[in-house]
Amino acid sequence: MPIALFSFKLDSDGRVRMAHIFFGATQLLAELHLKEHADICPKFGPAFRADETTEFAREIAELPPADGDDLEEWLDELLELAEDEDDVIDVDPERD
Protein backbone atom coordinates (compact mmCIF):
# COMPACT_ATOMS: atom_id res chain seq x y z
CA MET A 1 0.00 0.00 0.00
CA PRO A 2 1.32 3.52 -0.76
CA ILE A 3 2.88 5.50 2.08
CA ALA A 4 2.97 9.18 3.01
CA LEU A 5 6.00 9.83 5.22
CA PHE A 6 5.63 13.08 7.17
CA SER A 7 8.79 14.66 8.54
CA PHE A 8 8.75 17.66 10.86
CA LYS A 9 11.81 19.79 11.68
CA LEU A 10 11.88 20.57 15.40
CA ASP A 11 13.37 23.99 16.09
CA SER A 12 15.46 24.72 19.19
CA ASP A 13 12.58 26.72 20.69
CA GLY A 14 10.32 23.66 20.53
CA ARG A 15 8.26 24.84 17.57
CA VAL A 16 7.67 23.25 14.21
CA ARG A 17 8.08 25.64 11.30
CA MET A 18 8.94 23.20 8.53
CA ALA A 19 7.42 19.94 7.34
CA HIS A 20 8.07 17.69 4.39
CA ILE A 21 5.98 14.84 3.02
CA PHE A 22 7.57 12.03 1.05
CA PHE A 23 5.53 9.52 -0.93
CA GLY A 24 6.34 6.03 -2.05
CA ALA A 25 4.68 2.86 -3.24
CA THR A 26 6.22 1.34 -0.09
CA GLN A 27 7.62 2.71 3.17
CA LEU A 28 11.15 1.87 2.02
CA LEU A 29 10.72 4.01 -1.10
CA ALA A 30 9.28 6.91 0.92
CA GLU A 31 12.25 6.68 3.32
CA LEU A 32 14.63 6.64 0.35
CA HIS A 33 13.03 9.84 -0.99
CA LEU A 34 13.40 11.44 2.45
CA LYS A 35 17.09 10.52 2.66
CA GLU A 36 17.77 11.72 -0.90
CA HIS A 37 16.13 15.06 -0.11
CA ALA A 38 18.04 15.38 3.17
CA ASP A 39 21.26 15.07 1.13
CA ILE A 40 20.48 18.26 -0.83
CA CYS A 41 18.24 20.44 1.37
CA PRO A 42 20.31 23.02 3.30
CA LYS A 43 17.71 23.51 6.07
CA PHE A 44 16.21 20.06 6.42
CA GLY A 45 19.29 17.91 5.81
CA PRO A 46 21.38 19.09 8.77
CA ALA A 47 18.38 18.84 11.09
CA PHE A 48 17.61 15.31 9.89
CA ARG A 49 21.20 14.17 10.37
CA ALA A 50 21.27 15.75 13.86
CA ASP A 51 18.09 13.85 14.82
CA GLU A 52 16.13 17.13 15.06
CA THR A 53 13.21 15.80 13.03
CA THR A 54 10.40 13.42 13.77
CA GLU A 55 8.73 11.19 11.21
CA PHE A 56 5.31 9.58 10.95
CA ALA A 57 4.38 7.09 8.22
CA ARG A 58 0.78 6.70 7.12
CA GLU A 59 -0.72 4.29 4.64
CA ILE A 60 -2.72 6.09 1.98
CA ALA A 61 -5.21 4.72 -0.54
CA GLU A 62 -3.39 6.18 -3.52
CA LEU A 63 -0.39 8.31 -4.34
CA PRO A 64 -1.22 11.97 -4.95
CA PRO A 65 -2.06 13.14 -8.48
CA ALA A 66 0.21 15.62 -10.28
CA ASP A 67 -2.57 18.01 -11.35
CA GLY A 68 -3.01 21.01 -9.03
CA ASP A 69 -6.81 20.89 -8.76
CA ASP A 70 -6.82 17.10 -8.35
CA LEU A 71 -4.04 17.37 -5.77
CA GLU A 72 -6.03 19.87 -3.72
CA GLU A 73 -9.04 17.55 -3.75
CA TRP A 74 -6.83 14.57 -2.85
CA LEU A 75 -5.38 16.49 0.10
CA ASP A 76 -8.82 17.56 1.33
CA GLU A 77 -9.93 13.91 1.27
CA LEU A 78 -6.75 12.78 3.02
CA LEU A 79 -7.20 15.29 5.82
CA GLU A 80 -10.84 14.30 6.29
CA LEU A 81 -9.93 10.62 6.52
CA ALA A 82 -6.93 11.06 8.83
CA GLU A 83 -6.97 8.66 11.74
CA ASP A 84 -5.58 9.52 15.14
CA GLU A 85 -2.65 7.07 15.28
CA ASP A 86 0.33 7.22 17.59
CA ASP A 87 2.80 5.64 15.16
CA VAL A 88 6.15 7.43 15.51
CA ILE A 89 8.92 5.90 13.44
CA ASP A 90 12.62 6.54 13.35
CA VAL A 91 14.34 6.89 10.01
CA ASP A 92 18.08 6.28 10.25
CA PRO A 93 19.87 9.30 8.71
CA GLU A 94 22.76 7.07 7.66
CA ARG A 95 22.55 5.80 4.11
CA ASP A 96 22.57 2.04 3.69
pLDDT digits (tens, 9 = 90+) for 26-65: 999 999 999 999 999 998 999 999 999 999 999 998 999 9
Mean pLDDT across the chain: 86
Gyration radius of the chain's alpha carbons: 14
Quote the CA–CA distance of 36 and 18 in Å, as a whole number.
17
Query: Is 0.85 surpassed by the pTM of this model?
Result: no
Q: How confident is the model at residue 74, as a pLDDT?
A: 87
pLDDT at 75: 86
Query: Cβ neighbours of residue 53 under 8 Å, at least 6 residues apart?
Result: 7, 8, 9, 10, 44, 47
What pLDDT sits at residue 91?
66
